[in-house]
Amino acid sequence: MASAVEWLLGRFSVDLGIDLGTANTLVCIEGEGIVLTEPSVVAVQKGTNRVLLGGNAVGESAKVMLGKTPGNIVAVRPLKDGVIADFEVAESMLRYFIQRVHKRKWGVRPRVVVAIPSGITAVEKRAVINSAERAGARRVFLIDEPLAAGIGAGLPITDPTGSMIVDIGGGTTEVAVLSMAGIVTCQSIRVAGDELDEAIMNHMRKNYNLLIGELTAERIKLAAGSAAPLEEEFQVEVKGRDLVSGLPRKTLIGTEEVREAMKEPIGIIIDAIRTTLEQTQPELAGDIVERGITLAGGGALLTGLDRRIQDEIQLPVTIADDPLTCVARGTGAILAHISLLRAILAVNDED
């Protein structure tokens, strides 16, 4: 009977899949695809955890505030290091996103599938469930991010064959070997896109006495960052504040230099891939030799990273289609199965 009620509720509500990323949150609706993509950033009043009122306190409009807010406002990234660093703020953000996309039919609340980093603790899992429930979910299902990424990337994750997925996000890189719908080996490290930005900031400070913000560093990475030599190297302009004079200044920096600046974090990511492979059972390792490694997450888009990993690990490397949306599309695929399962249960229940 309970599942019949669930089934009925399902008729009056749409279900949501959420990729609660450290850099970006994506929401998809079953049958519609991705309906929201926003940076995981919230503008709050300093000292309190109160989210600013108005439509510009969450997402893209809050991200542009990073490093630019007046004294009483701070733009925060509640998931920065891959775990929920700030529960209250994370919950407000989640509520805002859910409410923005959920077309509530007759007051029925949505079921929600949330992809979570594989490294998080039971307490953190509970916190995500509570947050999503308080943010308006009727039921919350959690799925490990690497699995969602594997589904979204179109890997044969349910087959008894090993697939390797490397999801390079903002705060964390997750390296996982998947087989038969489970994670066989997995490593989650806190080195990903943010660390590349930080490496660029440090480089500018040390070598040019130039202080730059994290958004500027990210822009340099997107425009001029690479992990392997380019056919044509070039220069970009960097603006910041001079450490000595304290005054604003700009300078030019070349692509070789940006690559050199990011060398260490990129090396750490490649090492994580290597050690995960070393821990993989021989049969599965054999499958990976055949199938290669799939890259997902925004970091997969770093120019030349696929080539670089291929050179160092000596295995074929593929970038998933639309790597930034893999996890979200994976949660969407799972929603379809939840409905299917529920429908079957409901039918059986009626027998």
Q: Which of residues 217-236 bind ligand ADP (CB under 6 A)?
A: 218, 221-222, 225
| Residue 150 interacts with ligand ADP (CB under 6 A): yes or no | no
| Residue 78 interacts with ligand ADP (CB under 6 A): yes or no | no
In 102-192, alpha helices (H): 122-134, 145-152
Using CB under 6 A, which of 21, 59, 110, 162 touches ligand ADP? Answer: 21
Based on CB atoms, which residue is closest to ligand ADP, 10 or 332? Answer: 332
| Residue 59 interacts with Mg ion (CB under 5 A): yes or no | no
| Residue 21 interacts with Mg ion (CB under 5 A): yes or no | yes
| Residue 76 interacts with ligand ADP (CB under 6 A): yes or no | no
| Residue 117 interacts with ligand ADP (CB under 6 A): yes or no | no
Q: Which two tokens stand for residue 116?
A: 């979570």
| Residue 157 interacts with ligand ADP (CB under 6 A): yes or no | no
**Of Mg ion, ligand ADP, none, which one does residue 302 interact with (CB within 5 to 8 Å by kind)?**
ligand ADP
**Beta carbon of residue 274, minimum distance to ligand ADP (angstroms, whole number):** 21
Number of residues that bind ligand ADP (CB under 6 A): 19
Which of 24, 17, 329 lies closest to 170, judged by CA? Answer: 24
| Residue 117 interacts with Mg ion (CB under 5 A): yes or no | no
**Beta carbon of residue 350, minimum distance to ligand ADP (angstroms, whole number):** 41
Backbone angles phi, psi at 293, to 5 degrees: -110, 140
In 214-295, alpha helices (H): 214-224, 255-261, 263-278, 282-291
Based on CB atoms, which residue is closest to ligand ADP, 162 or 193? Answer: 193
| Residue 299 interacts with Mg ion (CB under 5 A): yes or no | no
In 49-192, alpha helices (H): 60-63, 87-101, 122-134, 145-152
Using CB under 6 A, which of 149, 324, 334, 338 touches ligand ADP? Answer: 324
Based on CB atoms, which residue is closest to Mg ion, 17 or 169? Answer: 169
Half-sphere exposure of 143 (CA within 13 A, CB side): 28
Beta bridge partners of 116: 144
| Residue 152 interacts with Mg ion (CB under 5 A): yes or no | no
The CB density around residue 330, as the number of other CB atoms within 10 Å, is 28
Q: Which two tokens stand for residue 63?
A: 């991200």
Residues 6+ apart with CB under 8 A from 253: 204, 208, 220, 224, 235, 236, 238
| Residue 201 interacts with ligand ADP (CB under 6 A): yes or no | no
Using CB under 6 A, which of 193, 240, 265, 332 touches ligand ADP? Answer: 193
> Tokens 């306190």 sit at which residue?
57
| Residue 22 interacts with ligand ADP (CB under 6 A): yes or no | yes
What whole-number distance in Å separates Cα of residue 220 and Cα of residue 24? 19
| Residue 302 interacts with ligand ADP (CB under 6 A): yes or no | yes
* Cβ neighbourhood burial of 71 (10 Å; 0-12, 13-18, 19+): exposed
Q: Which of residues 280-299 bind ligand ADP (CB under 6 A)?
A: 297-299
Residues 6+ apart with CB under 8 A from 53: none
| Residue 265 interacts with ligand ADP (CB under 6 A): yes or no | no
Q: What share of the chain is helix, strand, coil (3-state, %, to 5)?
A: 45, 25, 30
**Of ligand ADP, Mg ion, none, which one does residue 193 interact with (CB within 5 to 8 Å by kind)?**
ligand ADP
What whole-number distance in Å separates Cα of residue 52 and Cα of residue 38? 17
Contacts with ligand ADP by CB under 6 A lie at 21-24, 169-171, 193-194, 218, 221-222, 225, 297-299, 301-302, 324
Contacts with Mg ion by CB under 5 A lie at 21, 169
